[in-house]
Amino acid sequence: MGELPKRIATGLVLVAAAIAALWAGGTAFAALVSLAVLLMWAEWTAMHRMALLPRRVGLAVLGGAMVLMWIGDWFSALWLLAGAAGVGGLFFFQLRQPVIVASGRVGERRGRLGLDRPFLIGLLYCGLPGIALIWLRGQGWGLYATLLLMLVVWGADIAAYFTGRALGGPKLAPAISPNKTWSGAVGGLVGALIGAGLLALIWPGYGNAAGLMRLALLALPLAVVSILGDLYESWLKRRCGVKDSGSILPGHGGVMDRLDGLVPVAVAGAGIFVVTGWAG
């Protein structure tokens, strides 16, 4: 099977699984999100070649946060994640004191535990979107609000891919991701708007001009965030010297490769719905 058919087939399976879990809600959705969070952490730690101790500590923290979300205690889940990041930050500070190395230059004592900034960033990168998605799905209009985030990311990703391949043109960020173009980015914005428009057909009360406008105002900035998330992961892979974050998904690479846009969109989208109250 060629790369594109393999990519499409895998994408369809993932979309079907996501929609089924989203529709079921509750434990089914929390379980799928938790699995994604833990797989992302495994890929993140492998990319950064972390030592065994921080891998296990992060796994325990993220697992604990997801369990708390399963029982609906999002406040404790956030505190657990923030507390682990704070303690890790203190450990990081203690383990990287300046020292004089053999050459006479000032170096850094990295420490043998491997606790580094990637531990802290990775913990938040993997944990926050999981907490955000499970919280959002649990709201009154959580089914539609969460589906909006997914449709924006899927629409932006699919439209950007095919528009960029068809039209080409100036590169969006050649030093980070040589294959991404401005035409693809514009196509991604249009794709996100189409996804939001389709949602308006089934979200009660949004099948009118005012509803379409509200969803469009949500979709456009979230689509930009999705594109930035994609670029961040591309930069991260270049920094770590890897082509893909993993190999678990045929045609896509790793879980992080597939969810790079949803990670920041989940956090930003949940924040918007917290402020506006539009998720009920």
C-beta pairs of 79-87 under 8 Å, 24+ apart in sequence: 81/123, 81/124, 81/127, 81/128, 81/131, 84/57, 84/58, 84/123, 85/120, 85/123, 85/124
Q: Could you read off the pLDDT of 80-106 as tens digits, one per residue?
A: 998 887 786 566 545 444 433 344 443
Question: Collapsing DSSP states into helix, strand and coil, what is residue 245?
Answer: coil
Q: What is the pLDDT of residues 179-200, one digit of tens each?
A: 899 999 999 999 999 999 999 9
DSSP state of 253: B
Q: What angle do the packed helices 52-70 and 74-95 form, to 10 degrees?
A: 160
Average pLDDT of every residue of the chain? 87
Express each pLDDT in 108-158 by its tens digit: 444 444 445 788 889 999 999 999 999 999 999 999 999 999 999 999 999
CA dihedral 118, 120, 122, 126 (to 10 degrees): 180
**Residue 105 confidence (pLDDT):** 43
**Cα–Cα dist 253/274, whole Å:** 33
Mean pLDDT in residue range 238-246: 88
Per the rule left: phi > 0, alpha: psi between -120 and 50, beta: everything else, 28 is: alpha
What pTM, to 2 d.p., does this model score? 0.89
- Asked if pLDDT for residue 6 goes beyond 70, the answer is yes
Q: Are 199 and 192 in contact (CB under 8 A)?
A: no
pLDDT > 70: what percent of the chain? 89
